[in-house]
């Protein structure tokens, strides 16, 4: 490879570093209005009336929209349309962030004042605030039952597995919310142009979702709406479906006023209204032989969806598939339930429903190792998937399975035997501070999988200009993960042009075909393949022309380092582009990639769940202060099998960020509520890791077990980089205090109580 896997300067880095990159809040249009949002602020009730008269008396208020002003559908929901855009009088409010009305005003300050003047009356109903309450079905939150959805795996014979077992472990686990904490809050600017085109400038992970939803809300055809992806300051799943709810607000107001409208959320609005990681409760029963072999898994997991289903049914699919982690489990009986409560809706978040069950399964693996007298590394090595094995759903893996290699690399990187001795010596010498080490070994299904095959395609357009510069537009989005640089690297590898001459444009829905959401670690795989296809078409066009023009064989033409070598002649790529343009060679091509058909039985939960799987291992070293309960992640060793490393610096950055975000989920981040109202509504009281919290060393390595369908063999990395971290850190804490942690985030108070129970303090 000429450039793939090498260190490459990030192509969007300079603009972002100097503040020139244009985010949603940077857009301004002449005569622009500002939007305000009127929230219900109660968890459950019936909206009895709305009175906007006092708000209209405020000078500078231009329009106040209620449900009566919606020209199209008033419903949201990508799976089930169960969420009102604006709550109608006589219908239910289901969580505090339900929206009653929208204000358009001349200034942001006037809009904020007007919001307080909109009067409404809600007849409050009893609130359902826990999974246990919801399961009683005494008060129904949404639909006909609080148990909204159910997914399962039925494979083998778990009863026989438990009869044959030498060890049976039964354990319960609980996980909490996690806020996405992207640095840029949600926002959008809408402009209903004089040509009657609704332009939406939005911070989003899927402009196509926004495109479709606004078409439904405004009752406009899709060719009258152009959703333009702005630079996006982080997403992590929180900007997948949620931007539809955000962008529809200024879109409606712009449609009604015929003026541009801007809506940028405050952090408090963002945390109140937008989706979170699902809290969960899991019940596991796992059978082992005395040598550590896993015989069977029986589990039941409840995901708290909040007030609306949003993407929960798809999240649950991934929860189900990942319930047995990266292991050969021949007998499986898994149930996953989505539960409605009167709280903030939950949806997509990096890992997408799998961190909750991976924490459970990896904890059980550690506990089994302890009871059987086997090292946690060895029990994982014994059970991990290899070529020819089947996943928990019965998907036979034929190639690209680097799971065992990731374990072996981490063992080697960490000098594991020496590390164990270091921990033992430290703990002997220190009474109130203890070190602990914890393994995790996980896998991740790349793509939307059998549950979302209809969306698993992606497009790209590549255009070589006469001066040799290249423009590329893909349907997936850059949200900070380095996708633009990765796409430029792929183009550069094929056409030989320098990365600095390649510009990756922001997606626009009137230009590029629907490419699905930028989620599921699918951008490199899907958009990368689409870019590769388009670039190879252009290369073929150029080679055909040059071969005839210079009278040389096609194999005598080589593209490399900004040059085109034609037998013994050397031209710059710029010269070749100019020559081709003057001779009417086609230098603009379209690429489209879709996944091969997956065969999966949704009734039994068995079959080919995903197009490819990544495999990851993490070993964490923590220090626990037994007196205060404070946990410090001191060091981490991480290895991922991602098929092929395309963008090396980007890949390392993804792992560093994922480890830290996973650390936050494991030991810091906690949403606190009072009767369904979020109290931790900004970064003063919702605690996330800072530069002072991160470990001094995060050691990163990769296994390149190439996948034949991926661009140059690549799979994906975005989500697995987080998923290995929480179970590894929780296992390390358990190892330090010699007591099993079964709830995250790990509470300092809980740790102190455990230590008191043990008589340590």
Q: What is the pLDDT of residues 2-49, one digit of tens each?
A: 999 999 999 999 999 999 999 999 999 999 999 999 999 999 999 999
Label residue 753 by pLDDT band (50, 70, 90). Answer: confident
What is the percent of the chain where pLDDT is above 70? 100
- Angle value at C-alpha 760, between 754 and 761, nearest 5 degrees: 90
Residue 275 pLDDT more than 90? yes
Is the Cβ–Cβ distance between 453 and 748 less than 8 Å? Answer: no
What pLDDT, in 10s, does the model give residues 87-100?
A: 999 999 999 999 99
Tens of pLDDT, residue by residue over 611-626, are 999 999 999 999 999 9
Mean pLDDT of 315-322: 98
Which whole number is the average pLDDT over 292-306? 98
600-601/187-192 β-pairing:
unpaired
CB 188 within 8 A of CB 243: yes
pLDDT in the model for residue 133:
98
pLDDT for residue 761 is more than 90: no
pLDDT of residue 563 exceeding 80, the answer is yes
pLDDT tens digit sequence for 629-682: 999 999 999 999 999 999 999 999 999 999 999 999 999 999 999 999 999 999
- 53: CB partners within 8 A, 6+ apart: none
Which of these CATH numbers, 3.50.50.60, 3.30.365.10, 3.40.50.2300, 3.40.50.920, describes 280-384+396-450+601-757? 3.30.365.10
Question: Does position 749 have pLDDT exceeding 80, yes or no?
Answer: no
Of 703, 676, 686, 697, nearest to 619 (Cα)? 697
Contacts of 696 (CB under 8 A, 6+ apart): 634, 635
Chain mean position to CA 663: 16
> Whole-angstrom Cα distance, residue 215 to residue 516?
17
What pLDDT score was predicted for residue 453? 85
Q: Which tens digit of pLDDT belongs to each residue from 504-543? A: 999 999 999 999 999 999 999 999 999 999 999 999 999 9
Instruction: Please indicate whether the domains covering 13-18+455-591 and 280-384+396-450+601-757 agree at the CATH topology level.
Output: yes
pLDDT for 757:
78
Asked if the 31-125 domain carries CATH number 3.90.1170.50, the reply is yes
The whole-number average pLDDT for the span 335-345 is: 98
Q: Write out pLDDT tens, residues 686-720.
A: 999 999 999 999 999 999 999 999 999 999 999 99
pLDDT at 751: 76
| Digit-coded pLDDT (tens) for 147-186 | 999 999 999 999 999 999 999 999 999 999 999 999 999 9
pLDDT of residue 6: 94
Give the C-alpha distances (Å, rounded to integers) separating 284 from 62, 133, 198, 499: 57, 21, 50, 50
CA distance 48 to 55: 18
**pLDDT given at position 28:** 97
Residue boundaries of the structural domains of the chain: 13-18+455-591, 31-125, 280-384+396-450+601-757
Span 340-357, mean pLDDT? 98
Average pLDDT (571-580) is: 98
CA atoms of 79 and 348, how far apart (whole Å): 13
When pLDDT is averaged across residues 325-341 and rounded to a whole number, the result is 98
CATH 3.40.640.10 fits 13-18+455-591, yes or no: no
**For residue 759, what pLDDT band results from cuts at 50, 70 and 90?**
confident
What is the predicted pLDDT for the residue at 758?
Answer: 74
Give residue 202's pLDDT.
98
With 90 as the cut, is the pLDDT of residue 752 above it? no
Q: What pLDDT does 747 receive? A: 84
Q: Is the pLDDT of residue 756 over 80?
A: no
The region, left, alpha or beta by phi > 0 then psi within -120 to 50, assigned to residue 307 is: alpha
Would you call 231 helix, strand, or coil by DSSP?
A: strand
pTM: 0.97
Is the pLDDT reported for residue 607 higher than 80? yes
Residue range 54-65: mean pLDDT, rounded: 98
Q: What is the pLDDT of residue 222?
A: 98
Q: How confident is the model at residue 451 (pLDDT cuts 50, 70, 90)?
A: confident
Band (pLDDT 50/70/90 cuts) for residue 455 is: confident
């Amino acid at each position: 490879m000429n450039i793939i896997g090498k260190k490459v300067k990030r192509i969007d880095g300079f603009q972002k570093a100097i503040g020139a990159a244009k985010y949603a809040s940077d857009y301004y249009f002449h005569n622009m209005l500002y939007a305000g949002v009127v929230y219900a602020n109660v968890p459950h009730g019936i909206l009895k009336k709305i009175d906007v008269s006092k708000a209209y008396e405020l000078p500078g208020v231009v329009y106040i929209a209620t449900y009566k002003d919606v020209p199209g559908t008033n419903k949201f929901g990508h799976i089930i349309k169960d969420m009102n855009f604006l709550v109608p009088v006589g219908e239910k409010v289901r969580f505090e962030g339900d929206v009653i009305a929208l204000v358009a005003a001349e200034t942001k300050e006037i809009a904020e004042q007007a919001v307080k003047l909109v009067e409404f009356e809600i007849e409050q109903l009893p609130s359902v605030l826990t999974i246990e309450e919801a399961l009683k079905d005494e008060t129904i939150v949404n639909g006909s039952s609080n148990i909204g959805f159910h997914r399962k795996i039925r494979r083998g014979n778990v009863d026989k597995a438990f009869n044959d077992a030498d060890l049976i472990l039964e354990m319960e686990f609980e996980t909490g919310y996690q806020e996405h904490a992207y640095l840029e809050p949600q926002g959008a600017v809408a402009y209903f142009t004089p040509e009657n085109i609704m332009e939406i400038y939005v911070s989003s992970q899927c402009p196509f979702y926004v495109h479709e939803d606004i078409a439904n809300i405004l009752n406009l055809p899709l060719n009258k709406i152009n959703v333009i992806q702005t630079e996006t300051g982080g997403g992590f799943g929180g900007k997948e479906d949620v931007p539809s709810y955000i962008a529809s607000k200024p879109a409606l107001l712009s449609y009604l006023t015929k003026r541009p409208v801007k809506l940028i959320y405050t952090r408090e609005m963002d945390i109140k209204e937008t989706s979170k990681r699902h809290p969960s409760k899991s019940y596991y029963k796992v059978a082992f032989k005395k040598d550590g072999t896993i015989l069977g898994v029986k589990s039941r997991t409840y995901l708290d969806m909040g007030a609306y289903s949003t993407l929960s049914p798809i999240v649950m699919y991934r929860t189900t598939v990942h319930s047995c982690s990266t292991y050969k489990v021949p007998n499986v009986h898994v149930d996953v339930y989505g539960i409605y409560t009167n709280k903030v809706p939950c949806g997509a978040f990096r890992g997408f429903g799998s961190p909750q069950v991976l924490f459970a399964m990896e904890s059980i693996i550690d506990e089994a190792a302890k009871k059987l007298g086997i090292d946690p590394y060895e029990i994982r090595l014994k059970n991990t998937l290899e070529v020819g094995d089947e996943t928990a759903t019965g998907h036979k893996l034929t190639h690209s399975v680097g799971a065992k290699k990731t374990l072996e690399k981490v063992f080697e990187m960490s000098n594991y035997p020496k590390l164990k001795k270091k921990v033992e010596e430290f703990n002997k010498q220190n009474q109130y501070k203890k070190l602990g080490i914890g393994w995790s070994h996980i896998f991740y299904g790349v793509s939307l999988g059998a549950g979302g095959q209809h969306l698993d395609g992606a497009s790209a357009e590549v255009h070589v200009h006469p001066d040799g510069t290249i423009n590329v537009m893909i349907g997936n989005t850059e949200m900070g993960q380095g996708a633009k640089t990765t796409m430029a690297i792929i183009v550069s590898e094929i056409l030989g042009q320098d990365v600095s001459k390649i510009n990756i444009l922001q997606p626009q829905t009137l230009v590029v075909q629907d490419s699905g959401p930028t989620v599921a670690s699918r951008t490199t795989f899907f958009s990368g393949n689409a870019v590769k296809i388009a670039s190879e078409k252009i290369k073929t066009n150029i080679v055909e022309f040059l071969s005839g023009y210079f009278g040389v064989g096609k194999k005598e033409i080589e593209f490399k380092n900004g040059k085109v070598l034609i037998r013994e002649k050397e031209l710059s790529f710029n010269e070749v582009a100019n020559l081709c343009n003057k001779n009417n060679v086609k230098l603009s091509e379209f690429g489209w990639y879709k996944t091969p058909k997956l065969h999966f039985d949704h009734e039994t939960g068995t079959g080919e769940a995903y197009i490819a799987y990544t495999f990851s291992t993490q070993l964490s070293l923590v220090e626990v202060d037994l007196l205060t309960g404070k946990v410090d992640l001191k060091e981490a060793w991480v290895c991922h099998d991602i098929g092929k490393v395309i963008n090396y610096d980007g890949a390392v950055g993804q792992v560093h960020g994922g480890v830290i975000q996973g650390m936050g989920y494991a030991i810091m981040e906690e949403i606190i509520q009072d009767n369904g109202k979020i109290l931790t509504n900004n970064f003063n009281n919702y605690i996330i890791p800072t530069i002072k919290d991160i470990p001094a060393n995060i050691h990163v390595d990769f296994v390149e077990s190439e996948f034949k369908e991926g661009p140059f063999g690549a799979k994906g990395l975005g989500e697995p980089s987080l998923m290995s971290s929480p179970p590894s850190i929780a296992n390390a804490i358990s190892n330090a205090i010699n007591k099993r942690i079964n709830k995250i985030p790990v509470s300092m108070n809980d740790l102190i109580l455990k230590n008191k129970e043990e008589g340590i303090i």
